[in-house]
Structures are given as C-alpha cells and as structure tokens.
C-alpha cells in the first residue's frame, strides 16, 4: 500500500515516513503543497497524509484541487489546528479523516490502515482466503494455523493482492501501490518478490494460492 | 430631566403648540371682540350725534326738539334705551322716557370731553349696557356766543345683552376651535415623533441584535437617519478594528499552536517510531540527535515568545549605558561568522570604532544577533552580507544587508509580523518567523528607529538609527 506524506516540518516528515515504511507502506513525501499536489496527481496512492499549514499552496487548497481533479484518494489531515470549525472545514473539503498534532504514532498507523481498508471496501481487518488468514491490524499471516513470518515488503505485497483477491493484479498496479517513487527496485523486482512470497505462502505442500496469469499479472485465491 | 428622547420631543412639541395656539386664539378673540364692540359703539355714537343735533341753543337756554326725535317712532332695536342731555351745570335738558321712572345711574357731565368715551355700565333692571358720553356745543339759532357754559354733556346707553351674548358665543367658538387644533396638533406631533424616531428604534434594534460571537456583522446604514450616520459609521469602523484585532489574535494563537504542536508531534513520532523495534546503536544516535535538534528549536521559539510577551507587557526595562556600537556589532557577529563561513557567505564589515550610543547592552546584543541570524539564514549560499556602522551629527547608525532575498517590496511591511516567513524558508530548522518580530519589539523598547527595505537585485537591508548620545 502506497502512502504520500505532505508535511513541511522536516523532522516530523522524516519520522512519519520512517514509521510508515517500517509498517510496510511504500511512502513518498513532499515538503510543500505544490510538490505534494504534483505527486498526488501523478501516482495512484492509497492514502495521503496532508498537513494544512504548508508553504506555497496550503493543505486545504491541495485537498480542494485534488477533489476538483476527481482524485478520490483517501486523505488524512494531520494538523495542529484543533478547533471544531477547522475539523469541519477539513472534512467538508473532502478529507476522510482528521488527526491533530501531536498524535500517537500507533493511532496514525491505525487510521491509515482503516483508510486502506476503506479503499478496498472492507471493514473487517482480517482477510481469510481458504486456509490463509491475514490480520491487517496485527500485520500477521497464518496458513493452516501456522504463523508465517514475512518482511514488511512481502507483507505489503500480500496485503495488496489479498485486498484485490480473485481479480488479476498487473505488475504496474503492484509497482504503483507497493513501491516508492524513488525506489531503486528494477523492473523484475515484482516477480522476485512474488517468488519470495510464494515460497513462504504456498510451501509445505499447501495448495497454491498465488497464481500467474501470463501476460497479465497475478491472482490471489483458490484455483479458479 | 426627561431621559426619553421621545417624551422630551413630545412635551416640547405640546408646550410649543399650547403657547402658540393659545396666543393665537386669544389674539383672534381680542380682534373680533374689538371689531364687534366697535360696530356697536359706532351705532351708539350715531344715535348720540342724532340726539345731540336736536338740541338748540338760544340766549335764554337750551331747547330739545322732541318732535324731531327720530327714535320716537323707531323700533326697539334701533333706538337707544336711555339718553340724558344736561346743561353744563347738570340740569337736565332732555331725557329718554324710560328715565322718567328710573334714576339714571351716571352723570353725563362727568364726560367733560368732546371725544366720545365708551364704557359698559350697569343699567336699571340689572341689565348690562354700553354708554357713550361726550360734551357738545348745540347749534345756535340766534348766534349766541359759544361760551364754556354753552356746551352740553350727553350720555346715551343701549342694552348690550345681545352683544355680550355674541361675545360669549365668539369666545366659546374660538376656544373650542383652538382647543381642537391643539389636540389635533398634539396627536399629529405624537405621530410625527413616533414615526420620526422609528428609524432610531430600528437602528437600536440592529445594534442590540449584533451577535457578540460574530464580529463580522455590521450595523446596516440603509434607512438610518442622516444624523446617526456618523455614529453608525464610526461604530462599524470600531467593529472592523475589533474584528481584525481578534482575527490577528486568533491567527497568532493558531500559529503558536501550530509552531509548538508540529515539533512536539515530530518529537513524539521520532520517539515512538524509534522505540517500535530493536535498532542498531547508530539508529538510536540519529534519533536522539533529531530529538535534540527539535528540543533546541522549541526552546529557541519559546524563549522568543516569552521575550515578545514580556515586551508586550512592558516588562523589559532597558538598563542603558554608554557603549561603542561598532564593538557591540563586532562581538555579535563573532557568533554568526562560523555559520556564514559554512555557507560560503562573503561577509564585509565596516565597523569604525567610537560610534558611541546610549542603550541597553544585553537587549542590543539580542537585537543585533537576531538581525545577523536572519541575514545568515536567508542569504543565498555564496552570497554577501554587509555590516556597516556610521556616525553622523544626528546619531550613530547600524545597517545589515544580505543578498539572495526574494521578498517582494510589497511584503516588506509584513516581515515583522509574528510567524511571517517567506515561503521558501518555511520549515527551516530553528526559524519560526519570530526573529524580525522580536527585532521590531526590541527596537521599540530601546527607542531605536528600525527601517527595513528590499532592494532591487535581492538585497534585504535592515537599518537601525540611534538617537545622538548627549
């Protein structure tokens, strides 16, 4: 899942990006409104974390321009403005959530996860496919009752596939949602990670859940 | 003292109406009364003259030609009720038949003048009448000399009951008409006052309805009486001032909240993310370094805010002493020279000694260091900073200029606003947009004239003019 962080305070931005990355999100960041808007319009993000008091173009303008341009990405406003009129204005301008600084990082992560779930129309934090269980809150995966340890990147890939289970997910989709703009990953990195994931998920003689649709992409699910 | 404007106008209007209409009514009555009595008297005079013309004088006395009496056959209304003509000694020459049985209450000889004198009198039978009396010289048949004894007084009286009734009637009519006029005028005045004051009431309602919470409302001028427009306009100006002051206050509070909460959020996020898993010692080092940077920046901002608050509360009492401005500027620059070197800035110092000023050394140092910090931060890398101290007859001056400024001349007045930062520099570590605001307050406290200008070519100049040290 790919997140864009638009925040002008350098140290806060870096801390948020690091925390999100360590939680398995692909994270891009921008330090001003104009750059942020450019990012938001040029790549399909799952969630945008947006500060309001930004240099150049303020957060509310960024939000309005996004909504005017029919960009429906979920936006979480992260701001020091805490008055009810500020919250109302933010939500009315098209934000999906509002968090006031200073905030608990765990809460920020949970809210971002909730927005991701909403993106894929699922309220249940746990996804079950055959005997595969994914707990998106605890970020843990079990297959036939056995815990499967995954790296954050592998987990992100699995969660993305699981969110779109039963449908073919192209390499470009995976690239857009799981990898960052300035990622140095090569073009075959998706295949490499799918290979890693397969070895962990479909091991121990379990029936395979990750299927390749040659020329299209991948599908997560029981055999069609 | 009547407090209500409406009652004051009503009472004033009614009193004026009463006096004016009362006087007019009385005057009209007097005029009409005079005219009626004059008419009555004219008839009386004519009758008296006719009677007088019937008296003839001869050497042996006066003769009254009763046969020629024109009133003998006249009807009652046209003839006098009483008359009496005597000689100068008061002996009757002629008298009306009605006097044969009743005594005449007045002596015609008392008139004593040829000019007719009129008066109301009591007449026999408890009636009120009007008399005319004068003295005349009867015509002579035998050219008898007109001696004083040749004159005869005459008194004629008529019943004036009808006249009195007409006068009373007239008095009632005038009083009634004017009382009605006063009443109508009073009602009209009340209506006019009520309607005239209605816009005032509407205005008062509008002012009363102004919400205390929403200062964006203004009192509507439409329909306001012209006399109230200056007051309403002034009120609206005051409301505008109040609104902008409160808006600035709110913006300042929001800025303080933002500037304090954002680094706190950074601190908390850095600590929570770092603690979320086991890390290499180098990662902890980096995280701690970041936390320290945030804390130091916050301390700087809080100190500046406290200084500003003290300056606002007039708690900064300058302890002035005589010092050399060039020395103070050189000492302050020593703190910033390393940063300037690190940014490859060409610093040009022109600080000739003996620029004596009288000021507070600590506050001056704070002022100079903030100006220098600002210049070093916003100077372009490889740019130039110029520090100059000059002395003139009107006092010493200090100026600091840095290149690389992109501040528009129109924005110059705002650079000393609290939390105002040029966009590109926003978020620079340790800079909260308070430096120049603090400089402005310090210059005010130290009574130093501070001028700021943005010159062509990106030169940003701040100049301090010190008063001459006496």
The residues, any chain, with a CB within 8 Å of residue A210's CB and separated by 6 or more, are A161, A194, A197, A198, A201, A202, A218, A219, A220
Cβ contacts from A onto B, under 8 A:
85
User: Could you tell me if B362 lies within 8 Å of chain A, comparing CB atoms?
Assistant: no
How far apart are alpha carbons B418 and B433 in whole angstroms?
Answer: 6
Give the per-residue pLDDT at B425. 42
pTM listed for this prediction: 0.57
Query: What residues of B are in contact with residue A22 (Cβ under 8 Å)?
Result: 273, 276-277
User: Could you tell me if B269 lies within 8 Å of chain A, comparing CB atoms?
Assistant: yes
User: Could you tell me if A100 lies within 8 Å of chain B, comparing CB atoms?
Assistant: yes
Exposure of B249 by Cβ count < 10 A (0-12 exposed, 13-18 middle, 19+ buried)? exposed
User: Could you tell me if B221 lies within 8 Å of chain A, comparing CB atoms?
Assistant: no
How confident is the model over A86-104, as a mean pLDDT? 92
A15 to B290: CB separation less than 8 angstroms, yes or no: yes
Give which of A54, A102, A106, A151 to mutate to test B binding, by max B Cβ within 10 Å. A102
How far apart are alpha carbons B442 and B456 in whole angstroms?
Answer: 28
How far apart are alpha carbons B130 and B112 in whole angstroms?
Answer: 18
Contact criterion met (CB below 8 Å) for B329 and B365? no
CA distance A219 to chain B (A): 33
Give the per-residue pLDDT at B424. 44
Q: What is the pLDDT of residues B371-383, one digit of tens each?
A: 999 899 888 888 9
Question: Cα B6 vs. chain centroid, distance in angstroms?
Answer: 17
Contact criterion met (CB below 8 Å) for B441 and B421? no
User: Could you tell me if B342 lies within 8 Å of chain A, comparing CB atoms?
Assistant: no
Q: Is A186 helix (H, G, I), strand (E, B) or coil?
A: coil
The residues, any chain, with a CB within 8 Å of residue B193's CB and separated by 6 or more, are B6, B9, B10, B13
Q: What is the pLDDT of residues A120-165, one digit of tens each?
A: 766 677 888 888 888 887 888 988 888 888 888 888 888 888 888 8
Give the per-residue pLDDT at B426. 47
B263 to A11: CB separation less than 8 angstroms, yes or no: yes
Token pair in block for residue A221: 């699910």
B265 to A102: CB separation less than 8 angstroms, yes or no: yes
Beta bridge partners of B384: B346
A103 to B276: CB separation less than 8 angstroms, yes or no: no
CA distance A43 to chain B (A): 25
CA distance A140 to chain B (A): 16
Contact criterion met (CB below 8 Å) for B378 and B384? no
Q: How far apart, in Å, are the Cα atoms of B339 and each of A93, A157, B330, B375, B377?
A: 43, 46, 15, 11, 9
B257 to A106: CB separation less than 8 angstroms, yes or no: no
Q: What is the pLDDT of residues B284-296, one digit of tens each?
A: 999 999 999 999 8
Between A153 and B148, name the one with better pLDDT.
A153
Contact criterion met (CB below 8 Å) for B325 and B389? yes
Which pLDDT band holds residue A51 (cuts at 50, 70, 90)? very high
How far apart are alpha carbons B236 and A82 in whole angstroms?
Answer: 31
Q: Which of residues 415-434 of B touch A (CB under 8 A)?
A: 421, 423-424, 426-427, 429
Using CB atoms, pick whichever of A10, A12, A81 lies closest to residue B269. A12
CA distance A55 to chain B (A): 5
Does residue B459 surpass a pLDDT of 60?
yes
Does residue A119 surpass a pLDDT of 80?
no
CA angle at B73 for the pair B67 and B74, rounded to the nearest 5°: 125
Q: Is B291 helix (H, G, I), strand (E, B) or coil?
A: helix
Residue of B nearest to A31 (CA): B427
Least confident piece of the model among A6-15, A185-194, B348-357, B438-447: A185-194
User: Could you tell me if A135 lies within 8 Å of chain B, comparing CB atoms?
Assistant: no
How far apart are alpha carbons B136 and B152 in whole angstroms?
Answer: 5
């Amino acid at each position: 899942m790919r997140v864009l962080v638009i925040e002008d305070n350098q140290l806060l931005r870096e801390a948020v990006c690091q925390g999100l990355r360590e939680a398995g999100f692909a994270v891009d960041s921008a330090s001003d409104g104009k750059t942020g808007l450019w990012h938001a319009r040029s790549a399909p993000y799952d969630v945008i974390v947006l500060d309001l008091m930004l240099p150049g173009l303020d957060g509310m303008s960024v939000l309005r321009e996004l909504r005017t341009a029919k960009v429906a990405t979920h936006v979480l406003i992260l701001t020091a403005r805490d008055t009810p009129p500020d919250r109302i204005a933010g939500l009315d301008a098209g934000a999906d959530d509002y968090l006031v600084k200073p905030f608990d990082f765990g809460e920020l992560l949970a809210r971002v996860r909730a927005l991701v779930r909403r993106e894929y129309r699922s309220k249940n934090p746990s996804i079950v496919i055959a005997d595969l269980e994914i707990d998106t809150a605890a970020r843990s995966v079990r297959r036939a009752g056995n815990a499967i340890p995954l790296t954050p990147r592998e987990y992100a890939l699995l969660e993305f596939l699981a969110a779109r289970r039963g449908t073919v997910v192209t390499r470009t989709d995976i690239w857009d949602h799981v990898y960052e703009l300035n990622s140095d990953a090569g073009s075959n990195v998706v295949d490499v990670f799918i290979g890693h994931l397969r070895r962990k998920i479909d091991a121990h003689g379990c029936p395979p859940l990750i299927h390749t649709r040659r020329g299209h992409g991948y599908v997560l699910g029981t055999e069609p | 003292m009547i407090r209500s404007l409406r009652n004051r106008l009503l009472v004033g209007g009614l009193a004026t109406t009463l006096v004016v209409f009362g006087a007019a009514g009385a005057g009209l009555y007097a005029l009409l009364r005079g005219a009626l009595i004059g008419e009555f008297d004219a008839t009386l005079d004519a009758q008296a003259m006719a009677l007088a013309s019937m008296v003839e004088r001869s050497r042996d006395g006066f003769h009254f030609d009763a046969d020629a009496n024109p009133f003998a056959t006249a009807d009652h209304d046209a003839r006098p009720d009483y008359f009496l003509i005597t000689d100068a000694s008061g002996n009757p020459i002629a008298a009306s038949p009605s006097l044969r049985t009743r005594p005449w209450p007045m002596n015609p000889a008392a008139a004593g003048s040829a000019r007719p004198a009129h008066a109301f009198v009591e007449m026999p039978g408890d009636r009120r009448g009007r008399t005319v009396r004068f003295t005349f010289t009867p015509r002579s048949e035998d050219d008898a000399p007109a001696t004083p004894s040749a004159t005869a007084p005459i008194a004629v009286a008529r019943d004036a009951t009808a006249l009195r009734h007409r006068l009373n009637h007239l008095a009632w009519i005038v009083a009634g008409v004017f009382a009605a006029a006063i009443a109508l005028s009073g009602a009209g005045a009340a209506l006019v006052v009520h309607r005239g004051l209605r816009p005032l009431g509407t205005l008062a309602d509008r002012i009363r309805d102004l919400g205390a919470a929403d200062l964006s409302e203004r009192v509507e001028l439409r329909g306001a009486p012209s006399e109230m427009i200056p007051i309403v306009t002034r009120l609206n100006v005051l409301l505008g001032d109040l609104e902008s002051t409160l808006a600035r206050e709110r913006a300042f509070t929001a800025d303080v909240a933002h500037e304090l909460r954002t680094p706190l959020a950074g601190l908390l996020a850095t600590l929570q993310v770092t603690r979320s898993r086991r890390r290499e010692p180098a990662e902890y080092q980096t995280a701690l370094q970041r936390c320290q940077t945030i804390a130091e920046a916050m301390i700087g901002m809080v100190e500046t805010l406290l200084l500003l608050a003290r300056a606002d509360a007039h708690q900064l009492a300058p302890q002035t002493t005589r010092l050399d401005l060039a020395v103070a500027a050189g000492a302050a620059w020593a703190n910033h020279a390393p940063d300037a070197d690190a940014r490859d800035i060409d610093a040009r110092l022109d600080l000739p000694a003996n620029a004596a000023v009288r000021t507070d050394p600590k506050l001056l140092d704070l002022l100079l260091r903030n100006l220098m910090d600002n210049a070093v931060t916003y100077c372009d890398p490889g740019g130039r900073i110029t520090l100059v101290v000059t002395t003139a007859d009107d006092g010493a001056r200090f100026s600091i200029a840095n290149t690389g400024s992109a501040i528009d001349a129109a924005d110059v007045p705002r650079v000393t606003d609290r939390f105002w930062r040029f966009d590109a520099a926003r978020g620079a570590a340790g800079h909260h947009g308070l430096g120049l605001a603090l400089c402005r307050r310090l210059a005010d406290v130290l009574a130093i004239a501070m001028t700021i200008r943005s010159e062509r070519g990106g030169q940003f100049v701040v100049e301090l003019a010190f008063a001459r040290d006496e």
